[in-house]
Homo-oligomer: A and B are copies of this chain.
Amino acid sequence: MTPRSTALGEARDTAALLMAVTERTRRNFEDVAATFDLTPQQARALLALESAAPMRALADHMHCDASNITGIADRLESRGFVARAARDGDRRVKMLALTADGKKLRSALEAAIVDASPVMTALDSKERATLRALLAKAAITEGSRT
């Protein structure tokens, strides 16, 4: 709203814009998740479970305490989207895997998110390519484990 010509203002404006788009993307995600009667975290978990994974891995991926995953898995399991299974060789580990219903839900969710993304609706193919290059550069830096 108040762009400046100084270098400091430039940096601030870019950051503000990124925050705005981030907010929008986040809200878009929440809205789509709500459409499927999912909380954001439940949706995140579903998306992460494209292939089965130990609960520990999911906790790492979501950057939260393992005890948190117990509850999220409980709620998804009670609705039949996810199942706990043992893993051969280590009886401590519980693998989380999508059920048939869970897989269907996950695909629909993923598609809906892509469709509703502001970037998809506002930018053309060439612009997206440019954006992709910049985002990749910003995304790679340091924080890319998993």
Taking Cβ atoms with an 8 Å cutoff, the residues of A that contact B are 7, 10-15, 17-22, 24-27, 29, 63, 113-114, 117-123, 125, 127-132, 134-141, 143
29 contacts between A and B (CB under 8 A): A7-B125, A10-B125, A10-B128, A10-B129, A11-B114, A11-B120, A14-B132, A15-B114, A15-B117, A17-B136, A18-B25, A18-B119, A18-B135, A19-B25, A19-B29, A19-B113, A20-B135, A21-B138, A27-B143, A118-B139, A119-B138, A121-B141, A122-B137, A122-B138, A122-B140, A123-B134, A123-B138, A127-B134, A127-B137
Query: Taking the full assembly, how many copies of this chain does it contain?
Result: 2
Known: A22-B26, A139-B20. Is A14-B121 also a contact (CB below 8 A)? no
User: Main SS of the interface on chain A?
Assistant: helix
